[in-house]
Amino acid sequence: MDSVALFFTGALVAGGIYWFLCVLGPAERKGKRALDLSGGSISAEKVQDKYKQYWSFFRRPKEIETAEKVPDFVDTFYNLVTDIYEWGWGQSFHFSPSIRGKSHRDATRLHEEMAVDLIQVKPGQKILDVGCGVGGPMRAIASHSRANVVGITINEYQVKRARDHNRKAGLDALCEVVCGNFLQMPFDDNTFDGAYSIEATCHAPNLEEVYAEIYRVLKPGSLYVSYEWVTTDKFNAQDEEHVEVIQGIERVTRFLALGLTPI
């Protein structure tokens, strides 16, 4: 009886390994996963410490809704989840509407290309990706527009990942990645011919501050487009069902108190 149980246990483990490698593996070729994940931004023995640090932030949302506290919170979060996001979500850390007859990967790319079409940039112009992550949108936009794209992310590990992806895609001549806080960007006034952000500025403690900083670095007359999580005027804070929906979204997306910013 023990040998039978052992056999079935072994078969179950083998099946799990097969599913992970052979079933999940092909998804990468379909664009569902990132290429050549490096193994993480932090060592295995430090994951628990980083998790505890993140959880301490997460349990005190009101204490981190300041320009001073948010950078550490965001950086800690992305140190923990960047590889998980790439493995499960691909290189574009955002949602996009489905398009009939198009794959998820193609729909995502078209969603990103629309952003640069809206800001009306020309080949050779310089545009800003505000909160670029590992650069999935950046590469789609650079390929589509042939503009020079500068991305900024607060997470050093994402800078490394984005640069690696840019090089592998043959786009490092068009794509540049800078580590920095988009509330205090290391760029001169009137630098960019356009800018965009895709599900990134919701992480700012104050939208006016990040929009003012984007305005500062744009050339006069340039355009900025943002895809963002928002609540609308239909949201009723006294309606338990509305509140439950909003809180559910907040729990399963990136940040509890910063993930949804009513405007």
| 13-68 confidence digits (pLDDT tens) | 445 444 444 444 433 333 434 344 444 555 555 555 555 555 555 555 555 555 55
Nearest to 68 by CA among 180, 179, 205: 205
Nearest to 37 by CA among 100, 83, 95: 83
36 versus 156: which is more confidently predicted?
156
58-67, 120-129, 147-156 — which is least confidently predicted? Answer: 58-67
78 versus 137: which is more confidently predicted?
137
205 versus 179: which is more confidently predicted?
179
Highest mean pLDDT among 17-31, 74-88, 142-156, 222-236: 142-156
pLDDT value for 96: 78
Q: What is the mean pLDDT of residues 66-76?
A: 57
Q: What is the mean pLDDT of residues 1-15?
A: 49
Residue partners of 95: CB distance under 8 A and separation at least 6? 199
134 versus 52: which is more confidently predicted?
134
| 157-166 confidence digits (pLDDT tens) | 889 889 999 9
pLDDT at 222 > cutoff 90: yes
Residue partners of 263: CB distance under 8 A and separation at least 6? 207, 228, 230
Nearest to 124 by CA among 97, 147, 101: 147
